[in-house]
Amino acid sequence: MKMRWTRLAALVRRRIRYKITRGGVLFVVALVVVAAGAAISANNLLFLIVAAMFATFSISGLVSRLVLAGLEMELMLPEHVSAKTKTRAVLRLRNWKRWMPSFSIRVAGTGPDNTLIDPIYFPVLPGGSTIEEGVDLVFPRRGAHTENLFVFTTLFPFGFLEKTAMVRLKRETVVYPSINPLPEFEDLLQGITGELQANTRGLGTDFYRIRPYVLSESARHVDWKSTAHTGDIQIREFARDQQRSVELFLDRNAPRDWFERAVECCAFLAWELNDAGVSLHFRSQGFAARFPEETDVYTILKFLAFVQPQVDRRSYSPFDDSSIQILLSTSPQRFIDAGWAPARVVGNERDER
């Protein structure tokens, strides 16, 4: 019980800012006019009206402060969050005042990293109750977000004053880079998937397709039933037992503006290749990971959430010469000399080799 009262007292002492509204200005003007008329005419009825108007204005400020007192907010986010992507979360608002309800509460985001897309309005929050509401958030940047700023606003009871109280939610949220598709990213992905599909045909055990016979092919793969049906020699084709993997290298020795774009490209490719079930070996200076054999895609996305440019002019050789190689670097020549010659190179001009 003592802890409950301590928390409630802290919420009551929360700093509240006041801003007079247009209706409040008109009310004050009317109050001044009536007060002047009462002073000039010495009419007791006017003095009573002035007193009532002044009491109404004072009570408005007191009641609005009590409305904002005792409110506590909690934001529940999903486990994985990406920057620049709409994220569905749950906003939980609790009224610690046991008997007194709060009316006309508006919750909005604020600050340089404002994440709340649209403000949320609560007409009434009964005393001692908790309300949950789904909200859409967008984190503007990757990395660690240690706090979120929100404001409670109310015009209750008469709309003369707009009262606001700042709410600071301190919690560390790891935000992955954006995985939104961009035209240049999609073109690169289509090139990779096209090359992967071109290498799925072979002499494995899984049936791939039936196609016309090509001169010099072995007759042991002829599908005689299809041949008899079409009148032309048909070949039964099988998928290869092993597919080629993709090797992706991010060069951290790069200017920051290009580097942020490259990080988003890596996050997009990693997410899409993981969704397609493709084996990816991702590498960068000081980091290497392979999924799905050794880890999952979230390990790579977490690295990309915090990675920063660094000066490193060393060259790195490809891990597997048979893999499909993707190199993101603004200075690709030293990598090409080290064996990345067949790689698709994405540089300042997004050149592809």
Do 233 and 251 lie in one domain? The reply is no
What percentage of residues in the chain have a pLDDT greater than 90?
37
Instruction: Tell me which amino acid residue 228 is.
Output: A
**Could you report the per-residue pLDDT of 27-50, keeping only the tens digit for each?**
999 999 999 999 998 888 999 999
Quote the pLDDT of residue 290.
Answer: 92
Tokens of 205: 């055990």
Query: Could you tell me if 162 and 209 lie in one domain?
Result: no
Task: Say if residue 111 is in the same domain as residue 216.
Answer: no
Q: What domain count does the chain have?
A: 3
Note whether residue 181 is domain-resident.
Answer: no
28 and 171 co-located in one domain: yes
Task: Name the DSSP class of 51.
Answer: H
Across all residues in the chain, what is the average pLDDT?
Answer: 84
Question: Based on the domain organization, do 147 and 258 belong to the same domain?
Answer: no
262 and 222 part of one domain: no
Its pTM stands at 0.74
Q: Which domain holds residue 170?
A: 1-176
How much is the pLDDT for 111? 79
pLDDT at residue 187 is higher than 60:
yes
Confidence of residue 352 (pLDDT cuts 50, 70, 90): very low
Q: Where are the beta strands (DSSP E) in 14-160?
A: 16-20, 71-76, 81-82, 87-95, 102-110, 120-125, 130-137, 143-154
Last residue of a domain, one of 136, 157, 176: 176
- Whether residue 193 lies inside any domain: the answer is no
Task: For residue 132, tell me if it sits in a domain.
Answer: yes
- The answer to whether residue 191 sits within a structural domain is no
Tens digits of per-residue pLDDT, 56-109?
Answer: 888 888 888 888 888 899 989 999 999 999 999 999 999 998 888 999 999 998
End-to-end CA distance of the chain: 70
Structure tokens at 230: 């079409």
* pLDDT recorded at residue 351: 42
Query: How many beta carbons lie within 10 A of that of residue 110, not counting itself?
Result: 14
Asked if residue 283 is part of any domain, the answer here is: yes
Contact 81, 139 (CB under 8 A): yes
Residue 198 lies in a domain: no
Whether residue 236 is found in the same domain as residue 323: no
**Is residue 97 a contact partner of residue 65, using CB atoms and an 8 Å limit?**
no
The sheet with strand 130-137 has its strands ordered as 71-76, 87-95, 130-137
- Residue 16: which of 64, 81, 79 has the closest Cα? 64
Record the tokens describing residue 31, joined without a space: 């109050």
Q: Does residue 326 lie within any of the structural domains?
A: yes
Q: What is the rounded distance in angstroms from the CA atom of residue 303 to the CA atom of residue 257?
A: 18
Domain membership of residue 119 (yes or no) is yes
